[in-house]
C-alpha cells in the first residue's frame, strides 16, 4: 500500500508540474526577444557560478565521475551553451527573403519534458533548461532516480535566476519522487509537446513510442583509430585524457582503440607513459566477468568508477597512478565484454593491418551498439580522415582531438550540446548536436510572386471535344495505320477552333 501511495503521489506531482509549466509558458509567449535574452543570460550566469558546488554534489549523490571534471561539464552546459545561442533570434520574425518574399516567424513548442541521465545530472539539466527558455518553452524535468537531489538543486538555481530576471513563476519544474511510472506518464501527458530524452536505450525507445515528437539519443560505442601517420605522443595523450575525463561517463568517450600494427610498439610505450595499465591474458579473463556478468549487459557497478575501484572489483592489483585499464582484444560482439560501451576508464585495444582492416573493426564496433553516434581518428593524412567520415555510419567524426569533449563542442567547432543526435543510423530523427533551433516551430508567410493562368470553361470544352474526335478518327483508321496521332490532334484542334469562333 505504501508503494502504491508513493506512485500516486508521484503521478500527482507530475500532473501538477505540467499544469503549472503550461500556465507559465502561456504567459511567456508574450515576452519580447530582449526579455527572453535577459532571462537566459541570468540563468546561464547563475548556473556557471554554481558549477563547482553542483559538481561535488553530483559525485557525492551518484558515486560516479570526478568532481573537477563535472565542474568543467557544468561550465560547458552553462557558459558555452549560452555563448552559442545568445545571438539566435527566437521570437517573432526571425528571417526574411526579400527576393522570394518569404518571411519566417518563430513559435515555441510549448511544454518540454526533459529526461536527465545519472552520468551528467547537472550539466544536462543546465543545457536543456537554457535551450528551452531561449525558445520560450517551459520545461518539466524528470531526473534519474540516483540523481534526484543534485538535478533538483541545479534546477532550483536556474529557476531562482529566471524568476529574478522577470520570467513567469513555474516555467521550470522538476519531479522529485523518482517514479518510473510518473516519467512514462509525463512523456504521454496531453499537455507535453516535446520530449528531450537522454538516457538508456529503453528510455529513449519509450520516448519515441509515446506518440509525441521526441529527440532521443542512441548509445555511443566510439572507436578511435590511431592511423600510422598520427603524431603518436599527442594522440595517446588525447585518448587517455578523454577516457579518464569524468571516468568515461560522456557517451562520446572513446571505447576501443584501433591501432595500426606498424606503430603498436610506440603506442604501447606512450600508453604506459600516460598511466595506462595493459592487462595480462589471465587478468583480462577475470575483468571480462566484472565488465559484463551477463552477456551483452554492462555491469552498472563499473560505470563512472575509478580504475582502482574497477580493479578492486576484479581482485586485480594495478600500479598507483593508473588512469585507464586496457584489454587486448581480437573479437567484436555482444558477448565480447571489452567490445561493449563501458562508460568507464576501461578500453579494448585492437591491432589492425591497414586502413581497410581498421574500417572493418570500427564498423563492427559501431554495429553492436554505437551506430550513428561518433568516431574518432588520429592521423596526419587528411584524405584518410575524410574517407572515414564519408564511409562510417556516424553523425560526428572527431579528428586529432579528445572525442568526449570534442563531440559536445568543447574542443571543436561543433555546437555545444549534451544531446547528441544519431540520425537514422541510430534510429533518431536528427544527426545534429541538439540545441535551441531544434525547439522552435518555424512558420512561413509567403507572398504571391508569380501568376498562373487557368484555362477557361470554353477552352476546357474544346480540349475535351478535340480528344473525343481524335479518338474516333484513330479508331476508324485502325491501329496498323501510319497516321501520326499528333498530326491528327493538331488538325482537329484547328478545325474545332475555327468552328467555335
Pairwise CA distance, residues 360 & 345, whole Å: 24
Is 251 catalytic? The answer is: yes
Q: Does residue 276 contact residue 324 with C-beta atoms inside 8 Å?
A: yes
What element of type H or E holds 310?
helix 307-314
Cα separation, 339 vs 346, in Å, equals 10
* 91 dihedral zone (left: phi>0; alpha: psi -120 to 50; beta): beta
Q: Is the dihedral of CA 270, 275, 278, 284 positive or negative?
A: negative
The catalytically annotated residue of 150, 251, 362, 422 is 251
**Burial tier of 128 (Cβ tally within 10 Å: 0-12, 13-18, 19+):** buried
* DSSP 8-state secondary structure symbol assigned to residue 477: H
**Residue pair 11/156 in contact by the 8 Å Cβ criterion:** no
Relative to beta strand 346-352, strand 324-328 is parallel
Angle at 199 between CA 195 and CA 205, to 5 degrees: 60
What stretch of H or E contains 225?
strand 222-226
Exposure letters 199-217 (e unless 16+ CB within 10 A, then b): beeebbebbbebebebbbb
Cα dist from 440 to 85, 111, 186, 194, 207, whole Å:
13, 12, 21, 11, 19
CA distance 63 to 258: 30
Max CA separation in the chain (angstroms): 104
Q: What is the DSSP letter of 393?
A: -
Q: Give the whole-angstrom CA distance, residue 25 versus residue 139.
A: 9
Beta bridge partners of residue 444, listed in sequence order = 104
With contact defined as beta carbons under 8 Å apart, do 150 and 158 qualify? no
Choose among 349, 381, 323, 335: nearest CA to 254: 349
In the numeric block, which cell numbers belong to residue 490? 493538331
Nine-digit cell at 59? 559525485
Three-class SS state of 34: helix
Q: Which residues are catalytic?
A: 251
Amino acid at each position: 500500500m505504501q508503494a502504491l501511495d508513493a506512485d500516486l503521489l508521484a503521478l500527482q506531482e507530475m500532473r501538477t508540474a505540467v499544469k503549472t509549466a503550461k500556465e507559465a509558458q502561456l504567459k511567456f509567449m508574450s515576452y519580447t526577444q530582449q526579455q527572453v535574452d535577459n532571462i537566459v543570460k541570468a540563468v546561464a550566469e547563475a548556473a556557471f557560478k554554481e558549477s563547482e558546488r553542483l559538481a561535488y554534489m553530483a559525485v557525492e549523490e551518484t558515486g560516479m565521475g570526478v568532481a573537477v571534471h563535472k565542474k568543467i561539464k557544468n561550465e560547458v552546459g552553462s557558459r558555452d551553451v549560452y555563448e552559442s545561442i545568445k545571438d539566435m533570434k527566437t521570437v517573432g520574425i526571425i528571417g526574411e527573403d526579400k527576393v522570394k518574399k518569404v518571411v519566417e516567424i518563430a513559435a515555441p513548442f510549448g511544454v518540454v519534458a526533459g529526461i536527465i541521465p545519472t552520468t551528467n545530472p547537472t550539466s544536462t539539466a543546465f543545457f536543456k533548461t537554457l535551450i528551452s527558455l531561449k525558445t520560450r518553452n517551459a520545461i518539466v524535468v524528470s531526473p534519474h532516480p540516483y540523481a534526484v537531489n543534485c538535478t533538483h538543486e541545479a534546477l532550483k538555481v536556474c529557476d531562482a535566476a529566471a524568476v529574478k530576471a522577470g520570467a513567469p513563476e513555474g516555467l521550470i519544474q522538476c519531479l522529485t519522487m523518482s517514479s518510473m511510472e510518473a516519467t512514462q506518464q509525463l512523456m504521454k501527458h496531453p499537455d507535453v509537446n516535446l520530449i528531450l530524452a537522454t538516457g538508456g536505450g529503453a528510455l529513449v525507445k519509450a520516448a519515441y513510442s509515446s506518440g509525441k515528437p521526441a529527440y532521443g539519443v542512441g548509445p555511443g560505442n566510439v572507436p578511435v583509430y590511431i592511423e600510422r601517420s598520427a603524431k603518436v605522443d599527442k594522440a595517446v595523450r588525447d585518448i587517455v585524457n578523454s577516457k579518464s575525463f569524468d571516468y568515461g561517463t560522456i557517451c562520446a568517450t572513446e571505447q576501443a582503440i584501433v591501432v595500426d600494427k606498424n606503430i603498436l610498439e610506440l603506442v604501447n610505450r606512450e600508453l604506459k607513459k600516460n598511466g595506462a595499465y595493459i592487462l595480462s591474458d589471465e587478468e583480462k579473463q577475470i575483468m571480462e566477468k566484472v565488465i559484463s556478468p551477463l552477456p551483452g549487459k554492462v555491469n552498472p557497478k563499473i560505470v563512472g568508477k575509478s580504475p582502482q575501484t574497477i580493479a578492486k572489483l576484479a581482485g586485480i592489483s594495478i600500479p598507483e597512478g593508473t588512469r585507464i585499464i586496457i584489454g587486448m582484444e581480437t573479437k567484436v560482439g555482444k558477448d565480447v565484454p571489452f567490445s561493449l560501451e563501458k562508460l568507464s576508464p576501461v578500453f579494448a585495444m585492437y591491432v589492425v593491418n591497414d586502413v581497410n582492416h581498421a574500417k572493418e573493426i570500427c564498423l563492427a564496433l559501431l554495429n553492436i551498439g554505437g551506430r550513428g553516434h561518433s568516431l574518432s581518428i588520429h592521423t596526419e593524412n587528411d584524405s584518410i580522415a575524410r574517407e572515414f567520415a564519408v564511409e562510417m555510419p556516424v553523425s560526428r567524426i572527431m579528428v586529432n582531438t579528445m572525442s568526449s569533449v570534442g563531440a559536445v563542442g568543447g574542443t571543436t567547432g561543433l555546437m555545444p550540446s549534451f544531446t547528441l543526435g544519431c540520425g537514422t543510423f541510430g534510429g533518431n530523427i536528427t544527426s545534429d548536436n541538439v540545441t535551441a533551433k531544434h525547439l522552435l516551430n518555424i512558420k512561413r508567410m509567403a507572398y504571391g510572386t508569380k501568376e498562373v493562368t487557368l484555362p477557361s470553361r470554353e477552352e476546357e470544352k474544346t480540349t475535351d471535344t478535340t480528344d473525343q474526335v481524335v479518338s474516333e478518327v484513330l479508331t476508324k483508321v485502325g491501329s496498323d495505320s501510319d497516321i501520326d496521332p499528333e498530326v491528327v490532334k493538331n488538325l482537329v484542334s484547328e478545325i474545332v477552333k475555327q468552328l467555335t469562333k
